[in-house]
Amino acid sequence: MKTMRKATGAAVALASGVALALSGCGGGSNASSGEAQPPAGFDAATMGTNYAMPVKGQAYNNPQSRDNLKQGGTLTLATTEIGPNWNQMSTDGNTVYMNWMWQLYQPQLWDWDVSGNPTPNPDYLDKVDVTSEDPLVVTYTINDKATFNDGTPIDYTAFAATVTAQSGKTDGYNPPMTDGYDVVASVEKGSSDKEVVVTFETPFFPYQALFINLIHPKALDVDTYMSGWVNQPHNEWGAGPFTVDSFSDTQATFVPNDKWWGNKPLLDKITFKTMDASASINAFQNGEIDATDVASADRLKTAQSMQDVQIRVNYATSTGVWEFNTQADSLKDIAVRQAIVQSIDLEKINEIDFQGLGWDEDPLGSEIMFPFQDGYENNMPADAAYSTANAKKTLEGAGYTLNATSGYYEKDGKPVAVRYTWFGDGPIRAAEAKALQAMTKAAGIKLDLDNQDPSKFSDTVLGGNYEMLIMGWAAGDPYGYSTSGCQLYCSSSDSNFTYIGKPEIDTEFKKAGQIEDMGDAIKQLNKAEKLALALYGTVPINNGPLMLAVKAGLANFGADNNGYTNGFQGLNWHPENIGWEKAA
């Protein structure tokens, strides 16, 4: 499931640690012990669901050299929304869907392997060196050819503009996260404009989590940053292998950028079309799109009935969450939020989400670390465990009494009633909502169901027009322990959609970025997240696997709204290398 560290209706290598997204479910594996299993990428028509669990550190995206692929062809994909704000480096544009598009036409300075190990992207960076440890100084040498589409060289001024917009030190901007940028002391020219010397006030680790994207210096004006990208992608400020050919609120088309200095894109065109879940599987079956998620039993069955289709499976790098709007009258009382959490049987929710997929996942305990990562811990409070009886005790201990007639608890004549919002017409989301309604009712809590069209996702989340909401965070980099804590939980963060936090907890999250040893930094993150989750503003649900059905022959591709089947490598997917295999 997911919403992002980039927010999703379900979060991507982004300007921020995570991106917002609609919550989506993953698929699973029916691998049995003791048997040789095919890889987690298989021919749907012949293999059924008899595929193996993904191997950690392996990509499932049909990796091919460019020599094996033909020049030309198109790729058409479904997406949840296009825009309206094209500034992916602002909170308003920080969605998984916009991140897809930024990777096509904006600078992407770092490459990662499947496990998240970083290397500079040679199209933009010749090298990156730590030139001082005390104070921490990182020197970036930029590719001489790297240039924005309007002819402006990519140089130290773009790094300086990025710090200005992302540090939180200058009024008017709304960056999704400020961690790391907020401790940059200076950005200066080195031996040339193409050498960038970044000096830190205090150390920040890992420094590779910064300057993943850049903002054009001409886009730095506050009004431009905040509203100048609405329904305007600004091709002139791009610097990627593709450029925006046309766009509307229902479709965006990208074509090769004739100003691009790297490998020529193999594809002639990439098109995104907005559509709901039921429409996307039908569109895939009808040949209108080239890939779609098959993260539910009915969608998987449809893909299995098709010829020349491959299923690609991997662990999702996104997290489904429930967010409580603690500014809503119904949820200001922590006892109500705690009782709701106690009333929910997460194992039952997992059964609904993964029915027919064979995926077995324990209830989740972190919105930042993934269970397949070293150092992961369950950071949920011990008293959050599922128990209808304990949920009732929590309410009664806070002065609520059960109305025998209605069956709901109340105080001062007002029943405990909360509006639950989800998006789209997917049957899993609807079944999940009805299960939640039944669970909370058993604990004396009234849950009113509010189903919204996916096109309303950003407006609903960013406008705070919800009480309890399901969404997702998609990883924007492999360094969530350092970059995502404050983004999701800090009291001053624009991406904290619970509107709750404490300065002392903020301090604990910031400490993680000051620790160079990754193991120790993750321990600090776990300590901070335990404190944050004890406020009962948000609840991690599950990660699930990512399952994609793709047309046979599509190479170097494994992406959808829920993440990447090539793991963290997908955070910079080098779209110029996506293509179709040559005919045998």
pLDDT digits (tens, 9 = 90+) for 528-556: 999 999 999 999 999 888 889 999 999 99
Helix (H, G, I), strand (E, B) or coil at 81: coil
At 420, list the tokens: 């639950």
Cα–Cα dist 278/294, whole Å: 11
- Whether the per-residue pLDDT at 260 is higher than 50: the answer is yes
- Whether the per-residue pLDDT at 20 is higher than 60: the answer is no
pLDDT at 551: 95
Q: Which of 83, 27, 67 is CA-nearest to residue 579?
A: 67
- List the Cα angle 240/283/11 in 5-degree steps: 45
- Whether the per-residue pLDDT at 573 is higher than 90: the answer is no
Grade residue 500 by pLDDT with cuts at 50, 70 and 90.
very high
Mean pLDDT of 47-60: 67
pLDDT at 386: 97
pLDDT at 571: 66
| Residue located via tokens 């609120």 | 249
- If residue 103 lies in a helix (H) or strand (E), which one and from where to where? helix 96-105
Helix-, strand-, coil-residue percentages of the chain, each rounded to 5: 30, 25, 45
Residues with Cβ within 8 Å of residue 71, at least 6 apart in sequence: 264, 266, 579
Cα–Cα dist 103/105, whole Å: 6
- Whether the per-residue pLDDT at 28 is higher than 50: the answer is no
- Whether the per-residue pLDDT at 43 is higher than 90: the answer is no
pLDDT at 349: 96
pLDDT at 57: 76
The string of pLDDT tens digits covering residues 471-495 is 988 787 778 888 788 889 999 888 8
pLDDT at 7: 53
Q: Say if CB 496 and CB 174 are below 8 A apart.
A: no
Lowest mean pLDDT of 65-69, 222-226, 358-362, 538-542, name the range: 358-362
According to DSSP, the residues that pair with 271 across neighbouring strands are 76, 253
Cα–Cα dist 508/528, whole Å: 5
Q: Say if CB 109 and CB 122 are below 8 A apart.
A: no
Q: What is the residue type of 330?
A: S
Grade residue 12 by pLDDT with cuts at 50, 70 and 90.
very low
Cα–Cα dist 98/346, whole Å: 30
Q: Is the peptide bond before 135 cis (omega within 30 degrees of 0)?
A: yes
Task: Tell me the backbone φ, ψ of residue 301, rounded to 5 degrees.
Answer: -60, -40
Mean pLDDT of 88-109: 91
Task: Tell me the backbone φ, ψ of residue 343, rounded to 5 degrees.
Answer: -80, -10
Lowest mean pLDDT of 75-79, 247-251, 414-418, 425-429, name the range: 425-429
Task: Tell me the backbone φ, ψ of residue 321, rounded to 5 degrees.
Answer: -140, 155
pLDDT at 387: 98
Q: Kindly report the length of the chain.
A: 584
- Whether the per-residue pLDDT at 22 is higher than 80: the answer is no
- List the Cα angle 499/419/360 in 5-degree steps: 85
pLDDT at 42: 54
- Whether the per-residue pLDDT at 146 is higher than 90: the answer is yes
At 456, list the tokens: 């309303």
Cα–Cα dist 344/404, whole Å: 22
Mean pLDDT estimate for the chain: 88
Domains located in the chain, CATH noted:
318-544 (3.10.105.10)
Model confidence, pTM:
0.78
- Whether the per-residue pLDDT at 319 is higher than 60: the answer is yes
pLDDT at 21: 55
- If residue 423 lies in a helix (H) or strand (E), which one and from where to where? strand 417-423
Mean pLDDT of 58-69: 90
pLDDT at 482: 83
pLDDT at 284: 97
Grade residue 11 by pLDDT with cuts at 50, 70 and 90.
very low
pLDDT at 52: 62
389 or 564, greater pLDDT: 389
Q: Cβ–Cβ contacts within 10 Å for residue 53, how many? A: 18
pLDDT at 50: 56
Mean pLDDT of 80-94: 92
Mean pLDDT of 284-301: 91
Going from the C-alpha of 527 to that of each of 204, 497, 510, the distances in angstroms are 18, 21, 12
Helix (H, G, I), strand (E, B) or coil at 377: coil
160 or 571, greater pLDDT: 160
Give the orientation angle of helix 346-353 with respect to helix 427-442, to 10 degrees: 160
- If residue 550 lies in a helix (H) or strand (E), which one and from where to where? strand 545-551
Radius of gyration of the chain (CA): 23
- Whether the per-residue pLDDT at 527 is higher than 90: the answer is yes
Mean pLDDT of 111-135: 92
Grade residue 204 by pLDDT with cuts at 50, 70 and 90.
very high
- Whether the per-residue pLDDT at 507 is higher than 70: the answer is yes
